[in-house]
Structure 1
């Protein structure tokens, strides 16, 4: 149950804090997020008609599909548009990507939480982890989670809040730290994730379309992204502890299931051991099904692409459910199958507000896509930057800023890159920059502004997670909380790029900055 315990923020004369407070005030004067999405949907309907009547169109080569396209605005304010609005409302909702991801994963998390496993595990973490390392661990775990695609959004963001809460710290600060790692640091990692081959494939399509005999590997940005992982972990930790947490002020702790930090009982210890053993067996079985070249979950081509895109979320459900069941049976919190169903039902009931918000958010995002307004904005911006005559490092910085701005309107990294790569890959190639470096600059921009865009698919979900600890959480509060991460990530990540540029360091195995 949500409780309004958001403490009064400390008054600061710091200009940056005044700016953030202003952003929050303006944002929170807006109506409820559901109402905002309804109003934005109506606005898109009107704008689409105006742009359509104006005859505005753009020509571009889409590297994602490998086709030349002429795109013009599609109106929603005519017979065909009204048919789309009515006929697509249900499928817009049911096909909204985060919906199934969140609900399926929450079934497993609900078992682990409802049986007491998460509470006990976090309690153990509180007793054994140095307090000064908690923030860095949460941010780093968030960054590393992008190996598992979108799983970090569903799992780590609420866990970040729970961990901070259990340490006696503001849970919204923990949620923000995890969100900054998962979403703001989406491109960085110590491992090669699903984003690397996806973007590299689009880059290679853009090279082919431009008649350039050159190709890049998924590892082409690896060295820089490893360094970025450490940079963003340090930045995320400092921003959380020096800016976000002091601004949030004290959190009035309410005694509930996530606030018991007493010593673990003997039953809880036995439950944890049973959960650990069950989890170990599960990991071994999954390893057998994944690791060998002929493993059962690999596709006919020997890759894990299908599993990573479609099967991983179900595995996450089992990852939490199996040890949760083991813990509940041994500790005595589960006595029958009815108890299991009840904790699952409780987890689903807590997502009611999310379902309402997602319905209207899905309509707006799909209207934006259907009308082609996002594509027109992206192509027009790319053409403008191409024609203003920038060269060298200033052009790279301008490109990063443009991509970061466009990211506020088009959430998909691959969709944006499919539009921008055919313009900027050949352009910067002709100026002497490698495609690997251009792709790297794009990735910095794409990640940095994810966390302040209401159009980002999981933004609505993060608001719902935050409302568990502050039922007055609104879009303005979340954006003002995340804005320091977005600004400083963009600035400091770009500075790292400039240092790399000046020193001429390799950005990946066999990949340099200049041709």
Structure 2
């Protein structure tokens, strides 16, 4: 039995080693998008030579490839390079939402909430709470790695458990649950923007709301927290064994009086904002509903969810900062926003090349051609809805590695 387990573990280790080696050899994501954009230009010229065409399934229109390896193609690239970038959906949505979240993070609100959540957790639920807090931490992007991972190691050591297990549990929550949450955060506008750009290959008017994935995110939060807890308790901790190091546990500081006051201010402010939103969407003629149809699905509330993330993060963050005395004037608020923008340099560079790739892909009609031909292949394969859905999940998971 033990030999079979060791053999299985060796296979897993080899597979993970292979994934790591392949991943390390891949170019930078920005370089990949630049290469993809160049490949689309070249491929458009090649495909257009063969008079290839497909019929649009919705309109019946004949779709032919458009070559960018022409003088007209060169002119189009030169004239639209800037607008491709500035009109790329994930750019503005991420920047705006992060400005609001940045105030909440800079004021100390998010850090205080995470500390309170972990410090007050019952010992028998500590692992679950740490993984759960790790998942919630992605609301503020990278704060989980910076704050929660080391804090969890200290807490595990303080209660007599292996600190590496605490570190692993927090890391599992932060990284494994990066796209799950109970709240909308900075990652949701990004994913919505990317999905919208992809949808425009088929329908140029299609809009993807940042809250479109919320039900899945909500359920995934508890599922990932439970899975992370099980793996930590049943696999990680037994493999680590008892902690025999000489490191003494650090004193874990409780929230200060100012921090608690800040949380009260933030809680009251959040309650007021929630009441205002409910007044705007619950009544049939609520001011946040669609004025024409009174619908919630296409209401200013859901369409403007990024704005609510911005205003919510900013206002609640300021409220906490006033109570905790971490924000003394407007300069502190602006400083928090500036700090968040400093971290987005690599993202903006990535978006520039990603925007060109998506634009070129749409211009050449290669996206539509691939979509139609792919649909024909899938239809002829005889795959049912469930196997097809599982195939997409597996492919997405492999790409995500």
TM-score of the two chains, using structure 1 as the length reference: 0.57
- Is the aligned partner of 1:22 residue 2:18? yes
- Is the aligned partner of 1:347 residue 2:346? no
Matched residues in 2 for 1:239 and 1:75: separation?
49
CA shift, 1:262, in A, is: 2.0
Deviation per residue, 1:171-228 (Å, 9 max, x gap)? 653333223537xxxxxxxxxxx9xxx9xxxxxxxxxxxxxxxxxxxxxxxxxx9899
Deviation per residue, 1:451-488 (Å, 9 max, x gap)? 655xxxxxxxxxxxxxxxxxxxxxxxxx33xxxxxxxx
Decide which structure has the larger Cα Rg and report it: 2
Deviation per residue, 1:366-411 (Å, 9 max, x gap)? 22222222322222122123335x3xxx544553366x2xxxxxxx
Return the match for 1:46 from 27, 35, 42. 42
- Is the aligned partner of 1:399 residue 2:392? no
SS at match of 1:68: coil
CA contact (8 A) 1:56 1:72 kept: yes
Q: In the alignment, what sits opposite 1:283?
A: 274
Equivalent residues in 2 for 1:201-350 (5 A)? 233-234=222-223, 237-238=226-227, 242=231, 262-299=253-290, 300-304=292-296, 305-350=298-343
**Closer/same/farther in 2, CA of residues 385 and 117 from structure 1, 3 Å limit:** closer
CA contact (8 A) 2:277 2:288 kept: no
CA contact (8 A) 2:112 2:259 kept: yes
Identify unmatched segments of 5+ residues in structure 2.
1-7, 154-166, 182-191, 197-213, 241-249
Deviation per residue, 1:340-363 (Å, 9 max, x gap)? 111111111121221111111111
Return the match for 2:126 from 101, 106, 131. 131
**Closer/same/farther in 2, CA of residues 137 and 43 from structure 1, 3 Å limit:** same
Matched residues in 2 for 1:278 and 1:89: separation?
43
Equivalent residues in 2 for 1:408-419 (5 A)? none
Q: In the alignment, what sits opposite 1:365?
A: 358
CA contact (8 A) 1:138 1:178 kept: no
CA contact (8 A) 1:275 1:327 kept: yes
CA contact (8 A) 1:115 1:334 kept: yes
Q: In the alignment, what sits opposite 1:503?
A: none
Equivalent residues in 2 for 1:434-473 (5 A)? 445=393, 449-450=395-396, 453=399
SS at match of 2:57: strand
Deviation per residue, 1:240-299 (Å, 9 max, x gap)? 8649x96xx99xxxxxxxx99521111111111111111111111122122211111111
CA shift, 1:230, in A, is: 5.7
Return the match for 2:139 from 151, 155, 163. 155
Alignment length, in residue pairs? 331
Q: In the alignment, what sits opposite 1:167?
A: 152
Q: In the alignment, what sits opposite 1:103?
A: 95
- The two structures, once aligned, show a CA RMSD in angstroms of 3.6
CA contact (8 A) 2:131 2:225 kept: yes
**Closer/same/farther in 2, CA of residues 361 and 230 from structure 1, 3 Å limit:** closer
Identify unmatched segments of 5+ residues in structure 1.
1-11, 143-153, 183-193, 199-224, 251-258, 405-444, 454-478, 481-515
**Closer/same/farther in 2, CA of residues 26 and 68 from structure 1, 3 Å limit:** same
SS at match of 1:55: coil
Matched residues in 2 for 1:87 and 1:240: separation?
53
CA contact (8 A) 1:275 1:326 kept: yes
Matched residues in 1 for 2:221 and 2:110: separation?
27
CA shift, 1:88, in A, is: 1.9
CA contact (8 A) 2:131 2:174 kept: no
Q: In the alignment, what sits opposite 1:6?
A: none
SS at match of 2:98: helix
SS at match of 2:61: strand
Matched residues in 1 for 2:143 and 2:303: separation?
23
Matched residues in 2 for 1:228 and 1:331: separation?
31
SS at match of 2:255: coil
CA shift, 1:310, in A, is: 3.2
CA shift, 1:50, in A, is: 1.0
**Closer/same/farther in 2, CA of residues 180 and 287 from structure 1, 3 Å limit:** closer
Q: In the alignment, what sits opposite 1:117?
A: 109
Matched residues in 2 for 1:83 and 1:33: separation?
27
Matched residues in 2 for 1:231 and 1:311: separation?
24
Q: In the alignment, what sits opposite 2:379?
A: 386
TM-score of the two chains, using structure 2 as the length reference: 0.71
Matched residues in 1 for 2:229 and 2:264: separation?
33
Q: In the alignment, what sits opposite 2:62?
A: 70
Matched residues in 1 for 2:364 and 2:229: separation?
38
